[in-house]
Structure 1
Amino acid sequence: MTPERSPGGRAQSHVIGVALLLGITALSMAGLTATVGTVVESNTAGVDAGRVSADLDAAFAPVEVTGHHRGIVSYTDGRLRTVERTVRILNASGEVRRVDAGGVVWSSHGHRVAFVAGAVVRGPPGNAVMDADPALALSARTAVVGVAVLGDARFSYAGGGRVPVSTRVSHSRTVHGDGEWRVAVETATARPWRAFFEQRGAVTSVRDFDGDGVDSVVARFPGTREFHLVVHRLHAEAGR
């Protein structure tokens, strides 16, 4: 004997089915909205990264500028902050000179731009490129290395906006004797620094000198050269 089914039961099942469908649709739309929002934020941050890279290069300009200089660093979102970075000069006997260069880093949604020692590097660790090269000139007899030093500036800005940057740039040169020289630049993005030095004939390695978790790219220039260190002191200040 076939069991009876009531019309009310079919109606109730239909209502439950519609409710489940609406719930699934709502969850799918929420997931889609979140995904679209993430993509938009990432794209915006990508555009910001290009702008920040150009702005940092123009605002600091350690080689081109002497005296007072002003610039603006603009971005839609993210964080702009100073970091501790050191450049070391070494010869066969060990460390000859240590320069507390400092650095400026902007980051947002996986994108990153850093100004260190005169170079601008764009991209996160492991996937970064050098947008502006540091100052380096090599010949058969000399090596001239320029290092930009921020000074005592310490700041951190979160969110979007326009951050004014002012510098008062001065330059000094120290000449060291003949030898086989090494330059060690502390950086969170080692790959573009290694590529830069190796393209100019240096042999590179990576070492954490002070145990702070940030490696230095060590570039060794084969052969005997007279070494010139040019320090570009920026005396930088930033503020809204």
Structure 2
Amino acid sequence: MIPGDSDGSGRDGGRRARRGQSHVIGVALLLGITAVSMAGLTATVGTVVESNAAGVDAGRVSADLDAALSPVEVTGHHRGTVSYSDGRLHTVNRTVRVLNASGEVRRVEAGGVVWSSHGHRVAFVAGAVVRGPPGNAVMDADPPLATSAGTAVAGVAVLGDARFSYAGGGRVPLSTRVTHDRSAYGDGEWQIAVETATPRPWRAFFERRGATTSTRDFDGDGVDSVVARFPGTRELHLVVHRVHAEAGR
């Protein structure tokens, strides 16, 4: 018998066959694991690319909303465009309240416009543009507010009955007609409450102007208002910038 040959029982040959089969299975498992790893890497890269694109969109949408809905600089008819590659652009319900020691003096249904995509968010409310999700937002454009020792002039952009919602990417034309109305209130200790899903930049804005701030859900809808209390007695002037907006592609 030749050394290494089977004795006819097939035991040695069977072992070699089984060892060869194990190599094939091992290679198949390795290829399977590699395929799964590549799929996970592809998904991760895709998520990063989408997030980066949404970040670029957020900066563009912020500038576009500020230009298209600029309530203070514009009177009469105005046209603008909001452009983004993906996401949703829609209107929301927001309220601005004026209060004094006796309670609510005036309520303005201001409305707002929000764009969101892949964790990024931009909102136009009451004349301000805020970029970023709740808890990590910054104010890109300040609301119209001026204060002095004895006077406060607060401006509120009101979108009226504008209602629209667009999903996906593209260019959304915005056509507006802007009018202005000014009301003067007597001396008092005034508070201004702005309903917003991103309270942090609003609180920082008011506090830089000497107000103390708190938050309160006035109507129980789950969206807080930032309440800014201005110290001392002063006369309040409220300027309502009515932005009659229509959107359409």
Unaligned runs of 5+ in 1: none
- Once the 2 structures are TM-superposed, how far is the Cα of residue 6 of structure 1 from its aligned partner? 2.2
- Once the 2 structures are TM-superposed, how far is the Cα of residue 31 of structure 1 from its aligned partner? 0.2
Aligned residues: 238
- Once the 2 structures are TM-superposed, how far is the Cα of residue 87 of structure 1 from its aligned partner? 0.1
CA distance in 2, matches of 1:237, 1:151: 10
- Once the 2 structures are TM-superposed, how far is the Cα of residue 13 of structure 1 from its aligned partner? 0.4
Q: Is 2:118 aligned against 1:105? A: no
CA distance in 2, matches of 1:141, 1:202: 14
Q: Is 2:151 aligned against 1:142? A: yes
CA distance in 2, matches of 1:85, 1:6: 77
Match of 2:8 in 1: none
TM-score of the pair, normalised by structure 1: 0.98
- Once the 2 structures are TM-superposed, how far is the Cα of residue 89 of structure 1 from its aligned partner? 0.2
Unaligned runs of 5+ in 2: 1-10
CA distance in 2, matches of 1:60, 1:126: 25
CA distance in 2, matches of 1:8, 1:140: 94
CA distance in 1, matches of 2:237, 2:107: 14
Equivalent residues in 2 for 1:17-166, closer than 5 Å: 17-166=26-175
CA distance in 1, matches of 2:248, 2:211: 38
Q: Is 2:226 aligned against 1:217? A: yes
CA distance in 2, matches of 1:197, 1:230: 17
> 1:159-210 deviations in whole A, cap 9, x for unaligned?
0000000110000000000000000000000000000000000000000000
Match of 1:231 in 2: 240
CA distance in 2, matches of 1:6, 1:84: 75
- Describe the SS at the equivalent of 2:134: coil
What amino acid is the match of 2:155? Answer: G
Q: Is 2:205 aligned against 1:192? A: no
Q: Is 2:173 aligned against 1:167? A: no
Indicate the percent of aligned positions where both proteins have the same amino acid: 85
CA distance in 2, matches of 1:94, 1:227: 15
Aligned CA-pair RMSD: 0.8
